[in-house]
Amino acid sequence: MSKTLALDVPPARPVSRLLSAAGIAAGPLFLAAGLTQGLTRDGFDFTRNALSQLSLGALGWIQVTVFLLTGLLVITGAIAIRQALRDAPGSTWAPRLLCAFGASFLLAGIFPADPGAGFPAGAPEDRVTSLSAHGTIHMLSGAVGYLALCAAFLVLARHFAALRQRGWTLFARLTPVGVLTGFAASATTVMAFTAGAGLGLLGLSAVTARLTYPARQ
């Protein structure tokens, strides 16, 4: 890094490794838990069912716990990023937007998705066409949460651009495009939605690692 950039952008502040590790673990934990349950729960079909529906049925408490834990880990990671960025570009709004993303997981855990597409056992075979009150809150919290995540990526792109880290700048700008493309394609296949959501979570883990481990930059 040049002396000019060193003056323009404050150096990264040491971050608690525990906070950083928690933020990095959020995405892999959620996806690994979803994959494991999806492969072992009777009637669940990745081509028809969203991971959110794993909150339903006798074993639904597992996914509810995963939602709540993931939300807390994302918020913890946001705190780590705030510590790391200090007064650098993106230090105010990126953590706030990521906290909103984490809060959306907490709401999704409290208000479960509606049954449908054959899951859980005994649910209608058709996809959900009308939402219950709790299903509506679940859907809206997810939509708002992922929009907040996409906005956070764009804010962090400004941070990477200030450091002239072109690869990470491009990554932070393109990840929201992938997420929103997956969501837009969900009308055709639910797997596109799952892929978009997964991309956002893994992208957040990668960015959290980059920002909170300055020795690796």
pLDDT at 6: 40
pLDDT for res 87: 84
Query: In terms of C-beta density within 10 A (0-12 exposed, 13-18 middle, 19 or more buried), how is residue 2 classed?
Result: exposed
Q: Is the distance from CB of 200 to CB of 146 less than 8 angstroms?
A: yes
Residue type, 43: G
**Distances in Å between the alpha carbon of 127 and those of 5, 62, 79, 117, 119?**
53, 23, 38, 5, 10
pTM for this entry = 0.89
**β-bridge partners, 116:** 119
Which stretches in the chain have pLDDT values below 50? 1-7, 11, 215-217
Residue 214 has what pLDDT? 60
- Can you give the pLDDT at residue 13? 56
Per-residue buried b or exposed e for 130-151, using 16+ beta carbons within 10 Å of the residue's own CB: eeeeebebbbebbeebbbbbbb
Angle at 201 between CA 193 and CA 55, to 5 degrees: 65
Res 41: pLDDT: 96
Q: Looking at residue 1, what is its pLDDT?
A: 41
